[in-house]
């Protein structure tokens, strides 16, 4: 399958808008770094700052929008920044979630997401329903068979404490969804990691082991993008990014030539 010509153009337009907006709004960092500037040059320091800003934008906005564009032809619904989630959770479900997390941390149990989901949904409407902060869902998908997918997109390399927090969040999403309907056809909550920072080595999944069911809860790079759009989507998507980068390089060079030292 992969990307259609229309998808390629939509994604390219999104990237062009984001880069050009960043270029038009860019101002050099106000932090005084005289040693860095004298060693590397003001133009390189300005470009470094710009790249950091783009990296943040990709991680907090662009990847989830691209994911929705890629998934749209293949799912009944594909929504980034999904707002249709509930804001209540059962206190009984919270107890179950705490027990699951404690057992995983103490290695008394191995992660098994399908079993964890069943256990949570069994108590999702029992006890007292409590108000919680409405979750922010980076990407929501609904397949033709009614399966619901809730993804949290992550680009940073998480530490152990963050991984425990991510796991709790994924379980809480199940409980919050179950507070509305404890019998959804099928529900998936998990992490999506858009690229492998360790490439060409395999993604260092060991940090998730013991807390996450790697088969049913984590999708990385090619695995994620090809799940959304079919075989070869990841490679085609990289090509779109490269093509836009080549197209916009003169605009970027012109912008940062303004910061080059005058001779």
CA distance 11 to 260: 32
Q: Are residues 41 and 110 in the same domain?
A: no
CA distance 82 to 79: 6
Mean pLDDT (the chain, rounded): 90
**Residue-wise pLDDT tens digits, 248-263:** 999 998 888 877 666 5
Q: Are residues 169 and 130 in the same domain?
A: yes
Contact of 188 with 205, CB cutoff 8 Å: no
Residue range 54-62: mean pLDDT, rounded: 86
Q: Are residues 160 and 92 in the same domain?
A: yes
Residue range 173-191: mean pLDDT, rounded: 91
- The number of distinct structural domains making up the chain is 2
Is pLDDT at 234 greater than 70 in this prediction?
A: yes
Q: Are residues 215 and 243 in the same domain?
A: no
Range of the domain at 28: 1-72+232-263
**Residue-wise pLDDT tens digits, 120-167:** 999 999 999 999 999 999 999 999 999 999 999 998 778 878 899 999
**Residue-wise pLDDT tens digits, 81-120:** 999 888 999 999 999 999 999 999 999 999 999 999 999 9
Q: Note the pTM of the prediction, 2 decimals.
A: 0.89
Q: Are residues 94 and 184 in the same domain?
A: yes
Q: Are residues 95 and 218 in the same domain?
A: yes
pLDDT at residue 42, as a whole number: 80
Q: Are residues 15 and 123 in the same domain?
A: no
**Residue-wise pLDDT tens digits, 191-213:** 999 998 888 887 776 678 889 99
């Amino acid at each position: 399958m992969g990307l259609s010509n229309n998808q390629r153009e939509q994604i390219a337009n999104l990237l062009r808008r984001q880069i050009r907006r960043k270029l038009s709004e860019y101002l050099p960092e106000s932090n005084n770094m005289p040693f860095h500037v004298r060693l590397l040059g003001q133009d390189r320091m300005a470009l470094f700052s710009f790249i950091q800003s783009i990296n943040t934008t990709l991680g907090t906005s662009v990847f989830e929008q691209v994911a929705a564009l890629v998934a749209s032809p293949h799912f009944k619904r594909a929504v980034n920044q999904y707002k249709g989630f509930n804001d209540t959770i059962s206190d009984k479900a919270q107890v179950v979630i705490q027990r699951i997390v404690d057992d995983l941390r103490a290695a008394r149990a191995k992660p098994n997401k399908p079993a964890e989901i069943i256990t949570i949904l069994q108590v999702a409407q029992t006890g007292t329903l409590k108000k919680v902060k409405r979750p922010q869902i980076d990407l929501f998908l609904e397949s033709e068979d009614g399966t619901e997918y809730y993804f949290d997109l992550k680009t940073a390399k998480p530490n152990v404490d963050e991984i425990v927090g991510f796991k709790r969040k994924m379980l809480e999403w199940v409980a919050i969804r179950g507070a509305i309907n404890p019998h959804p056809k099928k529900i998936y909550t998990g992490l999506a990691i858009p690229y492998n920072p360790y490439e060409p080595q395999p993604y260092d999944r060991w940090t998730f082991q013991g807390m996450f069911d790697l088969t049913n809860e984590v999708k990385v790079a090619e695995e994620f993008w090809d799940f959304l759009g079919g075989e070869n989507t990841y490679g085609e998507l990289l090509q779109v990014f490269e093509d836009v980068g080549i197209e916009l390089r003169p605009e970027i060079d012109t912008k940062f030539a303004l910061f080059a030292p005058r001779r």
